[in-house]
Amino acid sequence: MRIATWNVNSIRTRHGRVVDWLVNADVDVLAMQEIKCKDEQFPREGLEAAGYEVVTWGLNQWNGVAIASRLPITDVEVGFRGQPGFAKGHEGPDAPLEARALGATIDGVRVWSLYVPNGRALGDPHYDYKLRWLSALADDARAWMAANPGAPMALTGDFNVAPTDADMGDPSFVPGVSTHISPPERAAFAHLESIGLTDVVRPIQPDGYTFWDYKQLRFPRDEGMRIDFILGTPGFADRVVDARIEREQRKGDAPSDHVPVLVELASDEDDDDRPMIF
DNA sequence: ATGTCGGGCTATGCCCGA
């Protein structure tokens, strides 16, 4: 089974490219972020014609997450337990949720499509929200892992954190000043790893960015950032046989500013070593 | 170069978010 994540930056602008890539890359499951539309506006036709079932959580023109799968989808969860909300002038515990997390089970694998808040600037209310959001995500993941020992789960998506210096190649992000590289954000990411989630792509693809800003020739200069990840429980990580960052998807007409990240999983029904398929 | 893209709005440019 091939599972991918992709911040598509508007599915209405990108659906043709998304379907083409899914079919060409033979992807079974795609977690999307920044669909930037309401559920009823999501262009499902091309995906469904290509054999994909689609579940979405889109509230308005901002954020929005979705999962498309060629295998049956069950146990859809809109938002995670304890997910903090956020809205202008509404920063308390009863702030409305944003459409940033969607969970589903596919062929026995729990898959989350996550769009972590950007943070905007150090000290901005959105930055505190980002840290609370990541902390609550870890709490929910830890509770799920305790209740489902050994089970495969992947937290996939745009984490908006560059965990190491090598993951930050955009010179406009300055240590001590900028989001995405601040110690608290990196600690929040490391905390996800400390509860038993593993970046399953990095051991296979140690280099490469997943995002390049549209501005200032960031892609031609390869001044990107590695901020999109697939974090797996041990029961997920043990089945990963290959991984890929689809840099080619940053090229051509109307690309997203992010590229897909995907992994190939061995079947859970046999222990045969699978050949590397990519 | 604040140099690019998305979205909405009531518009044919301006605002917001990334």
pLDDT score, position A87: 83
CATH architecture of the domain covering A2-265: 4-Layer Sandwich (3.60)
Which two three-digit tokens encode residue A131?
A: 């840290």
**What is the rounded CA–CA span in Å between residue A270 and residue A169?**
41
**What is the reported pLDDT for A270?**
57
User: Residue A93: pLDDT band by 50, 70, 90 thresholds?
Assistant: confident
Q: Is A195 helix (H, G, I), strand (E, B) or coil?
A: coil
Q: What is the Cα–Cα distance from A232 to A96, expressed in whole angstroms?
A: 29
Report the nearest residue to nucleotide B2, CA vs C1': A215
Q: Burial-class residue A220 by CB neighbours within 10 Å (0-12, 13-18, 19+).
A: exposed
User: Using CA of residue A152, residue A39, residue A63, residue A23, what is the dihedral sign?
Assistant: positive
Give the active site residue among A52, A115, A129, A209: A115
Q: Is the CB of A254 less than 7 A from some atom of nucleic acid strand B?
A: yes
Residue extents of the structural domains in chain A: 2-265
| CA–CA distance, A51 with A69 (Å, rounded to integer) | 8
Q: So what's the pLDDT on residue A152?
A: 98
- Give the tens place of pLDDT for each residue, A186-241: 999 999 999 999 999 999 999 999 999 999 999 999 999 999 999 999 999 999 99
Catalytic annotation present for A90: no
**Are A92 and A55 spatial neighbours (Cβ–Cβ below 8 Å)?**
no
